[in-house]
Copies of this chain bind each other. A is one copy, B any other.
Amino acid sequence: MSKAMKLLIDSDIYNSFFTISLLFLINAFNLKNYLLAQNTVMGKDMEMSTKKLVVGLAGMPGAGKSVVVNVAVKMGYGVVVMGDVVREEAAKRRLEPTPENLGKIMLELREKEGNNVIAKRCVSKIEKAKEQKVIVDGVRSLSEVEEFKKHFPKFTLIAVHASPETRFKRLYHRGRSDDPKNFEVFHERDMRELSVGLGKAIAMAEHIIINEEKLETVKEKIREVLEKVERKWMR
């Protein structure tokens, strides 16, 4: 070892340099870990949600939204039902999910959190879903579509359609507690759905599935449409 070297090692200059280097290294290591951690907590989630394929589904009452959802589930889609947001809010408030209560809660939520409150709450549901493909049942307006598109670049709006006559017959025979007992009640509900902008959403859909034929034919058509949507985002 040269005299000069020995001098350097013993010197404060060398010690200082070593310490600084070490500190630097530790910091760099921490920074890397920090970044990695961030990536998992936020960065990766963000990345995943922008990568998520989200299909919005619009349709008049009785058009056959549930048929579309069932096919999607079999194809590996997660499901977010927009109507559940209000029902969950009712449960949280320990209120019966009567049409009146749900209507009131909906109005209240909109007043407090804006017109897109339902879509916004669904965004976090979609983000939390474990599936990379999610179908959102019950899109009812173009402003909801905008909200979804803001968060999920791979968002596609589809719709399902049947004639009023077919839809009425279906709902009449389904006989769920909230299904119409006569044509007037059915028509009123149609007009209510249209008044929030459902017609606009249907008219602007990328694909409309016609649900007037045999169930198997329609299911095949739904599969085709969803495959088309997936191919679109893979190109």
Give residues in A with beta carbon < 8 Å to B: 60, 142, 161, 163-165, 190, 194, 197-208, 210
Contact = CB atoms under 8 A, between A and B. Distances in A.
Contacts of A142: 194
Nearest to A190: B204
Given A194-B200, A200-B194, A210-B210, A205 B163 contact: yes
Copies of the polypeptide in the assembly: 2
A209 to B, nearest CB: 9
A195 B205 CA distance: 16
B202 A203 contact: yes
A69 B190 CA distance: 28
Looking at A163, A194, A204, A210, the one whose CB has the most chain B CB atoms below 10 A away is A204
Given A161-B205, A194-B199, A208-B208, 11 more contacts: A142-B194, A161-B203, A163-B206, A164-B204, A194-B200, A194-B203, A198-B199, A199-B200, A199-B201, A203-B203, A210-B210
A142 B203 CA distance: 14
A208 B161 contact: yes
Contacts of A165: 206
A65 B207 CA distance: 17
Nearest to A204: B164
Nearest to A58: B203
Contacts of A206: 163-165
A184 to B, nearest CB: 15
Closest 7 CB pairs of A and B: A199-B199, A199-B200, A199-B203, A163-B206, A202-B203, A194-B200, A161-B208
Contacts of A164: 204, 206
Contacts of A210: 208, 210
A200 to B, nearest CB: 4
